[in-house]
Amino acid sequence: MQKNSSRFFQNRDCEYFPCHEIEDIEDFNCLFCFCPLYFLGENCGGDYTYSKSGKKSCVNCKRPHEKNGYCEIIGVLKSGQGDVSLVRLDSLQKKENQDAVEES
């Protein structure tokens, strides 16, 4: 097992650990419990799907939890591919609010 550091963290006490199935549990990285690439939508590079209501589901994505996930995600953020504008965030929030109204 890797040691906890600035690039790797594992929380075996978490009630959801592991939150995704992965081959080697010793290398499961909890550092990005919430993936910082989520808001890139279709450009995140992960294994995602969309629900019937249009919400992005990352249930099948292991990218942030894999052994080299930290380096990959930081690389995307440093490259500028991870630049998410406030306008885009605002539009995502409006869509989620609209979905919530439609579901109730």
Residue ranges making up the domain that contains 66: 34-103
pTM attached to this predicted model: 0.62
- Confirm whether 98 is domain-assigned: yes
| Tens digits of residue pLDDT in 3-25 | 877 788 899 999 988 888 888 88
State the Cα–Cα distance between residues 48 and 85, nearest whole angstrom.
21
Residue 5 in tokens: 């550091």
| Tens digits of residue pLDDT in 27-38 | 888 888 888 888
- Confirm whether 78 is domain-assigned: yes
More confident: 23 or 103: 23
> Residue 99's pLDDT band (boundaries 50, 70, 90)?
low
Q: What is the number of domains present in the chain?
A: 1
State the Cα–Cα distance between residues 94 and 100, nearest whole angstrom.
10
- Confirm whether 39 is domain-assigned: yes
- Confirm whether 76 is domain-assigned: yes
- Confirm whether 49 is domain-assigned: yes
